[in-house]
């Protein structure tokens, strides 16, 4: 018994000593390595990236479609800079495309596969690399990843944003973590905050990135007061494949025609909330606010003497269908949905005034901006820098653009889609739906009206392109569809978070 009490006393003494000892410091996990190797000793360029929402690739004044649309500042960027007529996105949907822009990754890589998916904490955005390299960074506008949160995100020194889609008029803004309601038109307000930062707030000694992300031109369209009804009465150019005829749907999968009478179809647009002509006019009028914003930014850069060492990129986050195949919206892989406007203005880098016809995609934005900063492309990025293309240098560029879209519970009309686009053909493969896939000869049928999928003469083309899609998915880690927790969806969300 004595030995027992001695052992007990010793044990108590040990516990007392242990309780009074200072515990070892906690070891925090190391963060990602954000320091990239340099590829150039040249002076780092400033970067202005301007993003619009749902602006289709061909609705710009200099392309004369529609004939009445006026976009003098986009026209200037094309005339004095570079136009990318074959630019496209890897997913034609807001959140996945924006995540691809910021990460340089395909949607199956970054896993932000729809508009509800939370962005993983492990994602690295290219502005983080810029900060590590000494850049000052800013973000103004629509974020739209991580559900509806407007909280400041990593990688940005200055932050102005809003929840979800935000409001066109008098929006509630999150300004560096503080929320307030601000009177005015969304595009004008964001442009004002951006120019104030450029001229007054930023550290004038540092290179900078300014990321201006517009709400415009997202439905429901609301132009600035000065642009309201500007185009009402102008002749609308209905697409050749607008009408509900057997000829227009010959060879098309059944789901395409059936979608005419749905939320995203011309016969029952937004469940009858709007008719097509008014929709068309408001879309064009809302674009004018973006064009004026571009003009203000270009003028500010010139006045500040920054234009010669600044790379300005304008693009859309995805395209938008206006009646083609009897549809509106985006998501599917048709040209008007997959392709986006892209313009580059950099008078200090290139003489401009030409087109880059290569298949440039949204995953290439991050690598290009990092290259402008003299930094190497991170190994986890799927895209590559198109800086050599805007300098007019010969480079071995990709000859194919890949595409993916994952079925959404909120909008079940469009199936999971994988596609690839070359200069000559587009092949579209659907997953989980009964019906034909699609093959189009883009040179002879740019409106994608004649499906060649069942034509025996094109079977080798179908087989080859299908095999290439699977090879792409296998090589890029895309054979497992990223499944996200279903947080539910109710009809009232149609009003604010599309």
Would you say residue 484 lies in a domain?
Answer: no
Q: Is the confidence at residue 411, as pLDDT, over 60?
A: yes
Q: Which helix (H) or strand (E) holds 353?
A: none
- Tell me, yes or no, whether 418 lies in a domain: no
Give per-residue pLDDT as tens, 158-203: 999 999 999 999 999 999 999 999 999 999 999 999 999 999 999 9
Can you give the pLDDT at residue 17? 38
Whether residue 180 lies inside any domain: the answer is yes
Is residue 12, in this structure, part of any structural domain at all? Answer: no
Count of alpha carbons within 13 angstroms of residue 173, beta-carbon side: 23
For residue 330, CA distances in Å to 307, 326, 486 come to 34, 12, 22
Inside any domain, residue 3: no
Residue 263: C-alpha distances to residues 147, 222, 275, 286, 332 (Å): 22, 19, 12, 21, 14
Q: pTM score, two decimals? A: 0.91
> Is the separation of the CB atoms in 365 and 344 below 8 Å?
no
Residue range 256-295, pLDDT digits in tens? 999 999 999 999 999 988 899 999 999 999 999 999 999 9
Cβ–Cβ < 8 Å for 348, 307: yes
Does residue 494 carry a pLDDT above 60? no
Find the helix or strand (DSSP H, E) in which 389 lies: helix 387-390
CATH number at residue 305: 3.40.720.10
- Give the CA count within 13 Å in the CB-facing half-sphere of 14: 6
Residue 16 falls inside a structural domain: no
Mean pLDDT of all residues in 438-451: 98
pLDDT at 242: 97
Please give the residue range of the domain that contains residue 127: 46-233+279-398
| 205 part of a folded domain | yes
What tokens appear for 38 in the block?
Answer: 């340099």
Residue 219 above 60 pLDDT?
yes
User: How far apart (Å, rounded) are the C-alpha atoms in residues 451 and 438?
Assistant: 6
Mean pLDDT of the chain: 91
User: What is the percentage of the chain residues whose pLDDT exceeds 70?
Assistant: 91
Identify whether the C-beta of residue 140 lies closer than 8 Å to the C-beta of residue 213: yes
Residue 496 has pLDDT above 60, yes or no: no
Strands (E), 225-356: 310-316, 321-322, 328-329, 342-345, 354-355
pLDDT digits (tens, 9 = 90+) for 78-92: 999 999 999 999 999
Residue 80: what are its φ and ψ, rounded to 5°?
A: -100, -10
Dihedral through CA 288, CA 289, CA 294, CA 299, nearest 10? 100
User: Three-state SS across 22-48?
Assistant: CCCCCCCCCCCCCCCCECCCCCCCEEE
Residue pair 397/359 in contact by the 8 Å Cβ criterion: yes
pLDDT of 13 > 90? The answer is no
Q: Is the pLDDT of residue 67 over 90?
A: yes
Point out which residues pair with 209 in neighbouring strands: 47, 137
Determine the Cα–Cα distance for residues 169 and 456; give it in Å rounded to an integer. 54
> Which pair of tokens denotes residue 81?
């800079």
Kindly state the average pLDDT of the residues 330-350.
97
Sorting pLDDT into bands at 50, 70 and 90, what band is 23? very low
How many structural domains is the chain composed of? 1
At residue 31, the pLDDT reads 75
In a domain, 129, yes or no: yes
């Amino acid at each position: 018994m004595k030995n027992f009490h001695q052992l007990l006393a010793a044990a108590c003494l040990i516990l007392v000593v242990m309780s009074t000892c200072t515990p070892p410091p906690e070891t925090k996990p190391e963060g990602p390595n954000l320091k990239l190797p340099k590829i150039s000793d040249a002076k780092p360029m400033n970067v202005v990236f301007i993003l619009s929402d749902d602006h289709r690739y061909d609705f710009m004044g200099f392309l004369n479609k529609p004939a009445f649309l006026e976009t003098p500042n986009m026209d200037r960027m094309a005339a004095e800079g570079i136009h990318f007529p074959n630019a496209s996105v890897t997913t034609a949907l807001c959140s996945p495309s924006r995540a691809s822009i910021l990460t340089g990754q395909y949607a199956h890589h970054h896993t932000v596969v729809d508009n509800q998916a939370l962005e993983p904490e492990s994602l690295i955005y290219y502005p983080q690399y810029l900060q590590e390299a000494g850049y000052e960074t800013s973000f103004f506008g629509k974020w739209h990843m991580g559900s509806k949160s407007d909280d400041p995100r990593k990688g940005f020194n200055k932050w102005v944003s809003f929840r979800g889609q935000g409001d066109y008029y008098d929006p509630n803004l999150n300004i560096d973590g503080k929320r307030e309601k601000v009177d005015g038109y969304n595009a004008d307000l964001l442009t004002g905050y951006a120019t104030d930062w450029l001229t007054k707030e930023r550290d004038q000694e540092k290179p900078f990135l300014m990321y201006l992300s517009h709400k415009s031109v997202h439905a429901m369209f609301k132009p600035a007061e000065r642009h309201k009804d500007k185009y009402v009465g102008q002749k609308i150019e209905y697409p050749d494949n607008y009408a509900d005829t057997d000829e227009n749907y010959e060879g098309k999968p059944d789901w395409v025609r059936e979608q005419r009478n749905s939320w995203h179809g011309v016969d029952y647009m937004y469940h009858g909330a709007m008719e097509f002509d008014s929709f068309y006019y408001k879309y064009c009028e809302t674009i004018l606010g973006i064009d004026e914003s571009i003009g203000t930014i270009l003028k500010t850069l010139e006045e500040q003497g920054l234009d010669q060492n600044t790379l300005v990129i304008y693009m859309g986050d995805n395209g938008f269908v206006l009646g083609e195949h009897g549809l509106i919206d985006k998501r599917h892989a048709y040209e008007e949905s997959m392709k986006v406007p892209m313009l580059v203005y950099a008078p200090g880098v290139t003489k401009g005034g030409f087109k880059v016809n290569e298949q440039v995609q949204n995953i290439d934005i991050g690598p290009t901006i990092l290259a402008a900063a003299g930094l190497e492309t991170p190994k986890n990025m799927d895209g590559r820098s198109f800086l050599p293309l805007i300098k007019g240098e010969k480079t071995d560029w990709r000859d194919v653009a890949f595409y993916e879209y994952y079925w959404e519970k909120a909008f079940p009309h469009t199936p999971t889609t994988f596609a690839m686009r070359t200069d000559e053909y587009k092949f579209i493969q659907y997953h989980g739906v009964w019906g034909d896939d699609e093959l189009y000869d883009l040179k002879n049928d740019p409106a994608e009206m004649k499906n060649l999928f069942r034509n025996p003469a094109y079977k080798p083309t179908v087989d080859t392109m299908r095999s290439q899609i699977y090879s792409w998915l296998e090589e890029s880690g895309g054979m497992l569809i990223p499944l996200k927790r279903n947080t539910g969806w109710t009809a009232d969300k149609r009003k604010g978070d599309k």
